[in-house]
Structure 1
Amino acid sequence: MYKIRIYGKHINISSDLRQEWRVNMKKIKKRSPEKMMSFIITGALVCALAVGVISVAGRAKKGSSNIVDLNETKIEQAKAEENTLKDSVTDYTRSITITDQADTLTKAAGDVKSDMQEKSDIPTKASDTDTSGPDTAHQGNNGVAANSADNIAAKYSFGENDTLKRPVNGEVIMKYSMDSTIYYKTLGLYKVNPAVNIAASAGTEVIAAASGVVNAINVSDETGTTVSIAIGNNYVTTYGLLDDVKLKKGMTVVAGDVIGKVAEPTRYYTEEGANLYFKLTVDDKPVDPVAYFE
């Protein structure tokens, strides 16, 4: 019999049992390193698996976070674009409103201007309007009356058989000549003359050769102050080199009325001296006025 001590206790065993026990202990000692290695490998695999799971979970969480951030960014961009579009629509609406207001003001200003023009055309005095014909339009020493009508000349009649008063008494120093040229002393050249030039001292009164209505008053380098009077049937008398003219466009005159005075000659007529430039046209074509003098 043998005694062995296990956990502080002595146990009696037989020789066979002791031999069996030793064999089992050897087996255990022999298998323990293998089991330990197995445990270690298993533990390592478990740890590796755990690390992989944790890593995958972390990546999934990070990807989910990125997706959320991306979605939030897109939402913010969409809101910004929406706000920009709203601002653009607001600005466009405001510009349309301003344009409409400007158009309204412009139209109103035009209406006011038209009303003012219409009112300005209304005569304020009975003498401002001639309704009785060319003879009764004569007023004052000069026989001049203001008239706003544009077709007053239609009241007058002049034809081939009618005559003209001489606007001034004097010699014709430059005759009418449209078929051939005549010599201009001051200019030193030959050219045609659509009018006649009648010598007269500066300050000499000039009278209307025929009754009519003033349709133009101009100033030119050649003929100075120039007055045109429509005398009817598309006949027009033109007086140039005038001074002290009191007429206005639209006024009516009677044959013999003083319409101005002879002026000092312009630089085109310094050699010829003071004279009256007198022209007669029919349908805008010049004719010889001397052929119509009384």
Structure 2
Amino acid sequence: MNNSNNFFKKNGFSIALCSFIAIAIVASIYFSYNNFTNENKQLAKSEEEPYLEPVNKSDVKSYKETETLTESSTSIKQNENKQSLNETTTKKEETSTEPATESTTKATNNSTSAKQDDKVFSLFDDEQEMSWPVFGNIVSKFDMTTSVYDKTLDQYKVSDSICIAAPVGTDVKATAEGIVENIFVDDELGQTVSINHGNGWVSTYSQLEENVSVSVGDIVDEGQIIGKVSNPSKYGVALGSHLDFKVLKDDTPKDPTEVLTQQNE
């Protein structure tokens, strides 16, 4: 017992010192580990969150200032759009009025041409001649004063047109420049195309195939194909296949042979 007491008396200081050192070492390791863990957490957090520059409060505008600037910017853009729209509208109006002004000027000056959809055709003059729509023999003559015998109807009647013999499928051509003013089907005349040549002159082409080559409003040139000869209607079957051709001057039938060129071949 005495020996044990003597041992602790002699070595007590050393044991206490060793214990203190051990505790210090453990504490140091513990704090170092905590610091390392906290640094890793902060590093991971900084990598996850984007870096945000500090806001300079002096640069931040109030809501009212922002709203005022937005309204001002919108107003400027609206004014620019209106100005641009007005300029576009003005250009369109100028463009659209140019043809009308030109047409009005021509009409005022009694010009010899007509204009539609940027296409021009020369108005037919009283001294001009028309070309033949088809070439062939005249199987029914024009006569508005005396009656002409109609083979199909077996009767005499006046005739306001001429009938020119032509095989089915023969091309029918416009006799002069003009604008297609009417396309219709008639029981007696069959498929018909009417062309206005200006100055009161109109030519009419009947006994055509159903699918004509022109439409109402088309401007055609002299010699342009407008359709083909068809089988005659029941009212003209006795004449064989032919073109029924009529010419009007101021709505009055005129003998086509007086207007057509003398050459028919």
- Shorter chain as denominator, the TM-score bin is 0.5 to 0.7
1:75 corresponds in structure 2 to none
1:284 corresponds in structure 2 to 251
Contact in 1 for aligned 2:123/2:177 (Cα 8 Å): no
Contact in 2 for aligned 1:212/1:230 (Cα 8 Å): yes
Change (3 A) 1:132 1:205: farther
1:161 corresponds in structure 2 to 127
Counterpart secondary structure, 1:267: coil
Mapped partners of 1:249, 1:148: distance in 2: 13
Mapped partners of 1:132, 1:254: distance in 2: 22
1:273 matched to 2:240? The reply is: yes
Unaligned runs of 5+ in 1: 1-121, 123-128, 134-146
**Identity among equivalent pairs (%):** 39
Letter in 1 for 2:215: K
Q: Shift in Å at residue 247 of structure 1?
A: 1.1
Q: Shift in Å at residue 270 of structure 1?
A: 1.1
Mapped partners of 1:255, 1:132: distance in 2: 24
Contact in 2 for aligned 1:156/1:233 (Cα 8 Å): no
Letter in 1 for 2:145: D
1:223 corresponds in structure 2 to 189
Q: Shift in Å at residue 171 of structure 1?
A: 0.3
Mapped partners of 1:246, 1:256: distance in 2: 13
Letter in 2 for 1:277: D
* TM-score normalized with structure 1 length: 0.48
Letter in 2 for 1:257: Q
Mapped partners of 1:181, 1:231: distance in 2: 29
2:21 corresponds in structure 1 to none
Contact in 2 for aligned 1:238/1:280 (Cα 8 Å): yes
Q: Shift in Å at residue 132 of structure 1?
A: 10
Q: Shift in Å at residue 293 of structure 1?
A: 1.5
> Which 4+ residue blocks in structure 1 deviate beyond 4 angstroms?
none
Aligned match for 1:247, one of 199, 202, 214: 214
Mapped partners of 2:194, 2:248: distance in 1: 10
1:213 matched to 2:179? The reply is: yes
> Aligned Cα RMSD in Å?
2.7
Letter in 2 for 1:250: G
Mapped partners of 1:282, 1:215: distance in 2: 15
Contact in 1 for aligned 2:213/2:225 (Cα 8 Å): no
Mapped partners of 2:102, 2:155: distance in 1: 49
Counterpart secondary structure, 2:238: coil
2:142 corresponds in structure 1 to 176
CA deviation map 1:8-34 (0-9, x unaligned): xxxxxxxxxxxxxxxxxxxxxxxxxxx
Contact in 2 for aligned 1:194/1:287 (Cα 8 Å): yes
What does residue range 94-173 of structure 1 map to in structure 2 within 5 Å? 156-173=122-139
Counterpart secondary structure, 1:271: helix
Aligned match for 2:203, one of 224, 237, 257: 237
* TM-score normalized with structure 2 length: 0.53
Contact in 2 for aligned 1:213/1:253 (Cα 8 Å): yes
Letter in 2 for 1:291: E
